[in-house]
Structure 1
Amino acid sequence: MKINNSEYGGFVVSKNINSGFPIRYSFREKSSIPQLNGWNLYSIVDDDDYINNAENFTILSAESIFEISPIILEFFDAPYGTDICWLYEEGVHTGFYDIISEKEVTLSEILRNTRI
C-alpha cells in the first residue's frame, strides 16, 4: 500500500513500540505543532516513569506506523479526545476498550465518537 505521509502528519510513539512491544494505549489530543497529528502511542510495558521522559519517544510517519500496526490508519480520523486501550488475548490483538466510556468498542464506534 502506498501511503502519502504528508496527508497524516507525525505520530508520537514510545520507543518500546519501535523495539517490538505491542501497543497498549493510543490517544489523540490537539497538537500545538502543525506537523503532528495528535496521535500518541504507548507500549504495553510503558510505566509512569517511562512516559514522563520525553527521550523515550520518537516521531514516526504514517508509513512507519502502517508497518507496525496497519489498523491505526483505519481509525486515524477519530476525533481529538479519543482515548483507547488495546486488548490482547495470548499476545494477539483482539479489540479496543474506550477508557472514557469504560466499555469495549468497535472501529466504527471509535470513528463515531464525538468527544472533543
Structure 2
Amino acid sequence: MTSYPEFIPKAGACLVSKNALSRAGRVRWMVRVPSQAPVDNGWRIFSHIDSQEYLADTSNLQMTDFNAVCALEPALIGIYDFPVGSDLQIVDEGQGIRIVETATGREIPRENFYVPPTMRADG
C-alpha cells in the first residue's frame, strides 16, 4: 500500500490494527477518541478478526495515514468528521455496506456522512 488517493485533504493519521492493514481481516469497528498528537485524528480502526488479546499487544497496531485506510475501506470516508466518542461498525449482510452505532445498532443515515470537497455538488 504505497500509493493511494488523497480522498480527504489533511485527514491526519489514525491507529489501525495490522489485521485490517494487511487485509487479513475486514475493517469492522471504528472508534473516535481524543487526539493524542497533532497529526492524530483520533480514529481507531479495527478488523472483524481482532480479539481483545490481539489488541492488548500494541505491536499489533500502527499509526497510518487516514487516506490509506480509506483506500482499503472506502466507507471510512463518510465517517471522517464524526465527533469524538463515536463508536461505529460496518455491517455487511449481503445487501450492501451499512454503518451503524455499535451501542444501539442504529443505522447512520447517508445524509450524515462526510463528503470530500472534490465530490461535493457545490465544489
CA contact (8 A) 1:85 1:96 kept: yes
1:44 aligns with 2:48: yes
TM-score (ref. length: structure 1): 0.80
Aligned to 2:31: 27
SS of the counterpart of 2:80?
coil
Separation in 1 of the partners of 2:50 and 2:5? 31
Identical pairs, percent: 22
Letter of the 2:19 partner, please give it: N
2:59 is matched with which residue: 49, 55, 67?
55
Please list every run of at least 4 consecutive aligned residues from structure 1 whose deviation after the TM superposition is greater than 4 angstroms. Answer: none
- Across the aligned residues of Structure 1 and Structure 2, the Cα RMSD in angstroms comes to 2.4
5+ residue gaps, structure 1: 112-116
Match of 1:17 in 2: 20
* Number of corresponding residues: 110
Q: TM-score by structure 2 length? A: 0.76
**Residue in structure 2 matching 1:95, options 98, 101, 107:** 98
Does the aligned pair in 2 maintain the 1:28–1:40 contact within 8 Å?
Answer: yes
Distance 1:61 1:53 in 2: 21
Unaligned runs of 5+ in 2: 115-123
Assess, with a 3 A threshold, how the Cα gap between structure 1 residues 2 and 24 changes in structure 2: closer, same or farther. closer
Deviation at 1:6, TM superposition (A): 6.7
Match of 2:82 among 61, 78, 90: 78
Equivalent-residue separation in structure 1 for 2:99 and 2:70 (angstroms): 18
